[in-house]
Chain A
Amino acid sequence: MAPAAPRSGDAIFASVERVNAELFTLTYGAIVRQLLTDLEEVEEVNKQLDQMGYNIGIRLIDEFLAKSNVSRCVDFKETAEVIAKVGFKMFLGVTASVTNWDADGTCCSIVLEDNPLVDFVELPDTCQGLYYCNILSGVIRGALEMVSMKTEVTWIRDVLRGDDAYELQVKLLKQVPEEYPYKDDE
Chain B
Amino acid sequence: MGREVSESCIDSLLTEMVSTYCNRFYANKPELAARRIEAIGYQVGHQLSERYTMDRPRFSDHLEAIKFICKDFWSELFKKQIDNLKTNHRGTFVLQDNRFRWLTRMSIDQSPENGASEDTSIMADNKAVQSMHLYFPCGIIRGALSNLGIPCAVSADISNLPACSFVVRIKA
Measured CB to CB, the residues of A under 8 A from B are 13, 16-24, 26-31, 33-34, 38, 48, 51-52, 55-56, 59-60, 63, 90-93, 116, 119
Contacts and interface: CB of A to CB of B under 8 A. Distances in A.
A16 B81 CA distance: 21
Contacts of B2: 20-22
B4 A19 contact: yes
Contacts of B9: 19, 24, 91-92
Interface in B11-42: 12-17, 19-20, 25, 36, 39-41
B8 interface: yes
**Which of B6, B77, B79 gathers the greatest number of chain A CB atoms within 10 Å?**
B6
Contacts of B1: 20
Contacts of A90: 6
Contacts of B44: 23, 26-27, 30
Contact of B3 (A17, A26, A56, A93): A93
A67 to B, nearest CB: 9
A162 B102 CA distance: 36
Interface residues of B, number: 31
11 contacts: A13-B6, A18-B5, A18-B6, A18-B7, A19-B7, A23-B76, A27-B17, A27-B44, A31-B17, A31-B40, A48-B20
Contacts, number: 97
B6 A23 contact: no
A116 B40 CA distance: 19
Contacts of A55: 16, 19
B10 A24 contact: yes
B53 interface: no
A93 B6 contact: yes
B36 A38 contact: yes
Contacts of A31: 13, 17, 40
Contacts of B48: 22-23, 26
B130 interface: no
A91 B8 contact: yes
A27 B5 contact: no
B41 to A, nearest CB: 8
B51 interface: yes
B6 A91 contact: yes
A92 B51 CA distance: 22
B43 A30 contact: yes
A19 B10 contact: yes
Nearest to A48: B20
A56 B109 CA distance: 13
Given A20-B4, A24-B10, A34 B47 contact: no
A115 to B, nearest CB: 11
A59 to B, nearest CB: 7
A141 to B, nearest CB: 14
Nearest to B7: A17
Contact of A59 (B12, B39, B40): B12
A33 B46 CA distance: 14
Given A13-B6, A30-B40, A56 B14 contact: no
B6 A27 contact: no
A16 B5 CA distance: 9
A116 B47 contact: no
A27 B36 contact: no
